[in-house]
Amino acid sequence: MVHKIHIPVMGICYTADTPIRVAHLGITSVISLVDDGLLEEYRMAYAERLGLDLGSPQTTRIGRIRSYLDFVADEVERKFTRLCAERFDGGSDKDLYFLMLPLDSRLRVEYDGIFAKTGLARIAAEAALTEKMEPGEIQANIMVGLNHEEAAFDAVRGFAASKVKGALVLSAGVNLAVFEEIAKYKDFYRTRDRAPSKKIILKVSDYRSALVQGRYLAKKGLEVYEYRIESGVNCGGHAFFESKKLLLDVIREFVEKRKELFETTRAMITKFAQSQVASADGAAAAAGNAENAPMLEIVPPASPARITAQGGLCTPEDIEKIMSLGIDGVGVGTPFLLVPQATSMDKATRRMLAAAAPEDVYISHASPLEIPFVNLRTSTASELCRKKVEEFFAPESEKSNAPELKPGFPCRQHYLCQKIPEFDHPVCRASREYVMWRLAEIDRMEKEEISSSANGPALDGAMPQPFGSVISMQSSSLWEEPYVSRSRCMDSPSENDLLGYTARTLACVLDNRSSHASQRNDNVKEKSQNPAPANLIQLRQQVAIHEKYNALRRETLERECICRFLGNAGREEIREKNPSLHFQPECVAVARGSQPARTREPVTICPNSDIGYFNREYTLFEMMRHLYGTGPRLTPKDKPSAFEIEARILAEL
């Protein structure tokens, strides 16, 4: 690799076509293979834009992934070949290739030296330098834990069948079945004749996870090309707080144990290779033909795996500090969201990112996987979920009853469906089916706990209605008025507030219960002025219980359909840029008035807080020079370092 900086996978769409945009300039990037349907949309859009005949749309998940990766590989090769044919004139893309390199890069030093030469010496130097150019690597990310309907298996199969000579990044947990699937393809093995044409990268957040996965792969004869260490907390998207280790400490442990990790896995690969030779010899002897023995001459790697790090690294000082520990490279993601030359999203989403502040990034419950999710508060998906919560909290008389504000979302793509004991089929926790069930379950649990705390009979009436509606909260001694709106009356009152609490609930009753409320008002006020101590304690307990279950309701309603929404910014960009042919029927129908104009779908975007320190769109040249410290600084000088931010987050957990 010519660069020590790579662009890691971001969301589903944000780096979906990044190799096409930057690989010919020597920059490595990672494509997400989660949404094969979206990848097919990109392929067909590029075909239309470039005037290519790519045939009919693919009809299988494996076919869509393989076809898209083949197209990306062909397009990168085409652009790189054209780049190499350009002249060095100080302003070409070929010059840009070298000008984005750090000043101490061997290629950059050679490039700076050619301008001091003339004549045949200059021509020879340019030709020699051109021979040393290489494109950035095409890498593909698989979330191994998402294997509904064999999605992870199909991603491995599609990648293995493609012509990409790059790396497969395995993230989001450990799935030994995926390792078994990888072991079926010879391109992942190193033999006496060639290095692996398809490599394995493990994305990990601690050394123990790397050791366990590395050893398991080594038992299969597979080597790990790179251990990609990601901060568990100072990252975008899913955050993992379990280890509570600082990124610097994890990297130091990796560097210290690098040799041990290499020797352990190398010995296991050697043992596997010897067992393969023995089994092949036995099979050949049984067949009586040693020349046709099915022997794969696997050999272990000669050097340790690469170590890279990512997560909140967006200033030259942070990158320099982490590189000084002895690692091989860094991943930088969030800043490239504001580089249109590098990432895919529509103009409105990019403007929203440019206007974001550090405090707009927060740890949310947006993920249906029930993993903390670093999210952007101002995204259209977050706004929609907030409106859903408000709608659910509102009294019946103030509800809008808009279809889009119903709890949960239609489950279209099923990527995050999981087996849940209460369902006889896999279900997503952001789906309308699950959310409605969960809200009813929360109502049931709350009713049981309130009844238990009152040491009396269960609350009168039927099962409580969904949160935000009027429910029955009658108790013989405390709740003289049985109809109370949850949204207005339970706002964590103080002890003094509790004295008048029961009277205040009368303001929350439904209009059709107003006469019933006024009839009991005097009795309630009289009791609230001189409450019995036991009643006050019991009331306080019920308020606390209610607030606890309100928090569960909010958590349930805040979940976003991320497997769809994380790709919507890319879909919007496709519609913005062309594809007149692909979407022309829709445009004509809208113009004729035969159908309404399409509304924008919600967009989920999950940068880390670094996005708040970048305030406009940047060119690729500007961003690379900033990160290497060879050009103007793009972040404020008083910006906290990645390591300070990470330590603060861990301290607040």
Q: Which fold has domain 5-33+83-338?
A: TIM Barrel (3.20.20)
Q: Using the predicted structure, report yes or no on whether residue 565 has a pLDDT greater than 70.
A: yes
Digit-coded pLDDT (tens) for 127-149: 999 999 999 999 999 998 887 77
Higher pLDDT, residue 468 or 574: 574
Q: Which helix (H) or strand (E) holds 364?
A: strand 361-364
Residue 405, C-beta contacts closer than 8 angstroms, at least 6 positions apart: 387, 388, 391
In this model, does residue 475 exceed pLDDT 50?
no
Every domain range in the chain assigned CATH 3.20.20: 5-33+83-338
Among the listed ranges 98-102, 289-293, 302-306, 649-653, which one has the minimum average pLDDT value?
289-293
If you average pLDDT over residues 208-212, what whole number do you get? 93
Q: What is the pLDDT of residue 242?
A: 75
pLDDT score of 281: 59
Confidence of residue 188 (pLDDT cuts 50, 70, 90): very high
Determine the pLDDT at residue 456.
53
Sole residue written with tokens 């990124």: 247
Taking residues 360-379, report their average pLDDT. Answer: 93
- Return the sign of the alpha-carbon dihedral for residues 187, 188, 191, 197: positive
Q: Which of 3, 26, 139 has its CA nearest to residue 73?
A: 139
Q: Name residues whose C-beta falls within 8 Å of residue 511's C-beta, 6 or more positions apart in sequence.
A: 397
What digits encode the pLDDT tens for the residues 245-272?
899 999 999 999 999 999 999 999 999 9
User: Which has more pLDDT, 68 or 90?
Assistant: 68
Element (H, E) at 169: strand 167-171
Give the lowest-confidence range in 88-97, 111-120, 245-254, 447-456.
447-456
Q: What tokens does 296 get?
A: 């794969």
CA 626 to chain centre: 25
Instruction: Identify the pLDDT of residue 466.
Output: 37
Banded pLDDT at 460 (limits 50, 70, 90): very low
- pLDDT of 256 reads 96
Using a pLDDT cut of 90, give the percent of the chain over it. 67
Indicate the average pLDDT of the chain.
Answer: 84
Does residue 346 have a pLDDT over 90? yes
Q: Stretch 285-312: mean pLDDT, rounded? A: 73
pLDDT over 70 percentage in the chain: 82
Q: Is the pLDDT of residue 24 over 70?
A: yes
Higher pLDDT, 114 or 278: 114
Predicted confidence (pLDDT) at residue 303 exceeds the cutoff of 60:
yes
**Residue owning tokens 């805040």:** 558
Residue 295 has pLDDT above 60, yes or no: no
Q: Among 98-102, 111-115, 273-277, 442-446, which is the least confidently predicted range?
A: 273-277
383 band by pLDDT with thresholds 50, 70 and 90: very high
- The pLDDT-based confidence of 536 (bands split at 50, 70, 90) is confident
Asked if residue 3 has pLDDT above 90, the reply is: yes
- CB-based contacts of 562, cutoff 8 Å, min separation 6: 366, 367, 368, 373, 381, 416, 430, 604
What's the confidence (pLDDT) of residue 535?
77
* pLDDT value of residue 392: 95
Confidence class for position 472, pLDDT limits 50, 70, 90: very low
- The pLDDT confidence band at residue 591, using thresholds 50, 70 and 90, is low
